[in-house]
Structure 1
């Protein structure tokens, strides 16, 4: 579609449906009519010298990027429109009305929202609001981006569909928080990072709507070293330790739309350094430690409808390292996979026999330190391994991808860049 032309719409649409393609095609041409100018554009496939996709440029000054690398809107709310050259109109696509305009936007790739937001205040307001993402969820349009941190205050994101890297604003400077153990969780349109301050736990929240960090909502029972997973706009955290190091068996559910935490029934066993996943509509917590020396091999299943926990023996047998790194697990199409970092193997959980089956090898280059320093995540229908070889004074971070299917594992390195090679935190946001 629109082959060989500059456009705001990526080749990889959320759906290949002919009707949806027509919506996006209509959006592109009507945006030109509405703005009476050509939108800010990026040549498809055009890259900088380091191999990353070029950012949209300011038409007034091609040497100045108009948008942040996140692909999200910069604040253009001042009366003159800031650097944005488009009208301060509150309208969308007048020819088809507001509802149809938003339906068009919902079908556009998220990486293009930053450029679309610069058309006028109306587009800017819609793209920075929750309405668009609620509609995308209702329509079943989900794009998965990987967010990870290889430096203490810095986060990067990668969109596998467009191949673009995005740099987030630096986290607020808090020396105690930066030196503490941190957990991360992507839920809805938020990235949450949990850590400790001098006297209490701290939650920092990055919103893709505002492209900024702020203070997040604290849990009812603040904790660290917990297991967690998200499903749409909701997430569950389980276990961990309180501020004084006591190991917890409590769990909580977070609703990112309501900005609330709800206490759930307690697990059967307390555990820290555990992992969490959603599978078949249920939440599972795997592995962890019940003391500083005792590893757990059982898992627990939480039924959201019944509100009950059930112990599953040997669910994480052999997945914990000697020093208690959380099991590296991920779910693709309701199938559970694990990275056996000691043997550098990929395993799959046999639900029927409740056992693990070895499928093949992990990528060779990413190194871990007893399970720390690499990330193993599900990103849509892909399994992603993020890490790099350990080298002095920096290194290269690599993203390896495999789409689970019949036959041997074949890893494909989809991206790499110069960075720290030790992954401190990683989360995948689907919205």
Structure 2
């Protein structure tokens, strides 16, 4: 029954079948309550404001109720108490959190305050949503668990920011977009807790054209160029919970237009350029525990060129994959031999301009290719997925939408 609602249940976290059945039932009932509340509120609006009395449900504590039975918002689902209530909510899809947050102050505080997402992360309950921009200042998100599209609020208008190179990064419950004003770099921050954009915290050394990746609530950015165009070898760590930047040790080589990934609990910078003409084939590995960088020879050999996009790389199950946009093939990195193995073809329809306009991302245990065929009048964006296993890639289209077919920025948020 609960699986039909496309909600996530992590069975290994329960203490007994009986306890799990209680959580499943309560959570399913809670979602129906929240959906029912929204439906009734809509009915009241449709009737021109006439009062419609809403039946109280004994499962939910209501801060608006005059009866003492419903006045306790700390227990959330009243008969089972706060702890089991939270265990119910952890197993809900975050698609339902907006509706559940509207029930009362207790639910609203738990979800909009971010506490529930911290607990999900601690219990390793993660849903990966794909965020991308095919039109300047506009962002879409796709929930692959429910096949649902959503449009984010439009970014604040800024003429210079619109025309500048932009990078994006999803970390914790935030989507960060980096760009430039006339003489400086700026950061815009979208929060899923408030569904709104706000100014983000500037880096210690502002930059663009850098490599980056996130792991939970933390992210690392490395390389890039400063406002004067100087190529950097510096790196920084961002903590989304404290919204602070920490300067890390410098890399061995300055590089721009590079890519970043986390793999085997280490951060890797791959490829890039040391100058406008010098393409780097080496990568660098950063050990977070030791705080040192190590050069990895030939880590990006053949993955990019002087006029092409940064290497299109992604990590699934601690294995590194790359989309070679020149040959339209997928490759896998052989860690032992430090070489690339060709697995098969990329999806046929998505096209790019030397790698620009095409996104290649990890989404949980899947590799995702996001792009579309060139077409007049805006075109179509398509999402193709493949779960890596033995044999050549077998791509499945999981979503499509009419919008621009050129992907400017893309990030995957797991929370």
Distance of 1:143 and 1:224 partners within structure 2: 28
CA contact (8 A) 2:277 2:306 kept: no
Distance of 1:385 and 1:295 partners within structure 2: 25
Distance of 2:338 and 2:187 partners within structure 1: 36
1:364 aligned partner: 348
The answer to whether structure 1 residue 244 and structure 2 residue 239 are counterparts is no
CA contact (8 A) 1:330 1:338 kept: yes
- Shift in Å, 1:11: 2.8
Structure 1 residues without counterparts, runs of 5 or longer: 5-9, 42-55, 66-85
What secondary structure does 1:202 align onto?
strand
Deviates more, 1:15-24 or 1:327-336: 15-24
1:321 aligned partner: 305
Normalising by structure 2, report the TM-score: 0.89
CA contact (8 A) 1:87 1:119 kept: no
1:195 aligned partner: 179
Deviations 1:74-130 (A, max 9, x none): xxxxxxxxxxxx864645112122222122111111111111112112211111012
1:210 aligned partner: 194
Distance of 2:288 and 2:22 partners within structure 1: 39
The answer to whether structure 1 residue 254 and structure 2 residue 254 are counterparts is no
The answer to whether structure 1 residue 59 and structure 2 residue 40 are counterparts is yes
Deviations 1:395-417 (A, max 9, x none): 00000000001122100000001
The answer to whether structure 1 residue 142 and structure 2 residue 123 are counterparts is no
CA contact (8 A) 1:295 1:324 kept: no
Rg larger in 1 or in 2?
A: 2
Deviations 1:27-81 (A, max 9, x none): 333x38xxxx94316xxxxxxxxxxxxxx9643436989xxxxxxxxxxxxxxxx
What secondary structure does 1:96 align onto?
helix
1:24 aligned partner: 24
- Shift in Å, 1:200: 1.1
2:53 aligned partner: none
- Shift in Å, 1:392: 1.9
- Shift in Å, 1:321: 3.0
The answer to whether structure 1 residue 416 and structure 2 residue 400 are counterparts is yes
Normalising by structure 1, report the TM-score: 0.86
Distance of 2:34 and 2:128 partners within structure 1: 25
CA contact (8 A) 2:303 2:324 kept: yes
Matches within 5 A, 1:96-135: 96-135=80-119
2:380 aligned partner: 396
